[in-house]
Amino acid sequence: MTRDEVFTLIQGHLADELDVDPARIDETTRFKEDLEADSLDLYTLVQELEDSYGVRMSDEEAARILTVGQAIDFVLERTPA
């Protein structure tokens, strides 16, 4: 799995879930400040990542992930090469 593959999944999920243009989403995009995502939106993203990649994310870990790039890093650090 590549960084681009994870980014594409996250970008597509956020665009659908938040009804935003995917072009607005890059690795520096902040979930709350830039996309106005609420806690339910972030919860569904965590579920999507867990289901798609088999990673598990605690509430504390999720709270520390503020940008799309940080979410990608989390997935890549916790999945086999």
Model confidence over 28-38: pLDDT tens digits?
Answer: 999 999 999 99
- Whether residue 74 contacts residue 12, with contact meaning beta carbons closer than 8 Å, is answered with no
Q: Does the structure show a pLDDT above 70 at 10?
A: yes
User: Is the distance from CB of 53 to CB of 75 less than 8 angstroms?
Assistant: yes
Please pick, among 38, 51, 59, 73, the residue that the annotation labels catalytic.
38
Q: Report domain extents, the chain.
A: 3-78
Examine the pLDDT at 80 and tell me if it is beyond 90: no
Instruction: Name the fold adopted by 3-78.
Output: 1.10.1200
* Whole-structure pTM value: 0.91
21 is annotated as an active-site residue: no
Per residue in 46-75, pLDDT tens?
A: 999 999 999 999 999 999 999 999 999 999
pLDDT of residue 1: 86
